[in-house]
Structure 1
Amino acid sequence: MDTNGIPSRFRAADADRERVASLIQAAGGEGRLTLEEVEDRLSAVYSTKYTDELATLTSDLPKPAPRRRPVAFGHRAVRIHLAVVVVLSALLIVRWLASGGPFFWPTMPMFWLAMSVFVHARVRGARRGLKPEDGLAVA
């Protein structure tokens, strides 16, 4: 324990061990480690108790590149469509303010304009090979 009473070492969970084991197996598959090194490191992974020991087993391996989320609004046509929808929505709000209507009637046209952008992004994403579980990211 350190001076604040916080443990300086944390016990490794099975998920931590599996993550490190998959990194070691991937490095072996890429040819960065020999088969004997992979076996030695995997046996060390499954016998470790603390997370700092796991870090030392992969310290000489390159860090994996972070996964980027697919960009659904990355296509130029979808961005233009989105800009047109924003301008039309602003014009609808100005028209509503000028008319002095008792309720916010632009809600429905703005809803359908937004749906058209999402459908357009979805179609473009399907053409680019994006799956529904990838989610949407804005570029």
Structure 2
Amino acid sequence: MNVQDDAAWSGPNRLRTSDSEREQVATILRAAMGEGRLSLAEGEERLAAAYAATYRDELTRLTTDLPGGGRSALLDTPQARSAARRGVRRHAGGVFVLAFALLGLWALSGAHVFWPAIPLALLFLGLFRHARYRRYAHHRYGVAPWNAPGHR
């Protein structure tokens, strides 16, 4: 191919894909096969296409008919679950350090009103939300933005 042919194929939908993106789509496809959403033959065919893909739009086509583009299946992998647990543990550690600092400041201030109540409530509410909702992990662990719905 010469430079003029390359220019004809360039554009936002013709970005080259990386090995990690191919592996991510392969993980989605394996999870879909495990859930029974794809037959073994269709899953193997899509896996072969994923590993042979050169451009990102070729990968996107492989997962568009799966619920949520396959992202929910990706979050059910053991790697994503352990990464989410690590994130919640890290968050909890920060919350407890801040809580003890606030309580120490309140004790040293000698204030009669328990003023750390509101910041403590907000800190623990954020921690509860992080631990409770899996969608927090969608953006942090293992979901490529190029595979998001509506993204070109």
- TM-score in terms of structure 2 length: 0.46
- TM-score in terms of structure 1 length: 0.49
More helix by share: 2
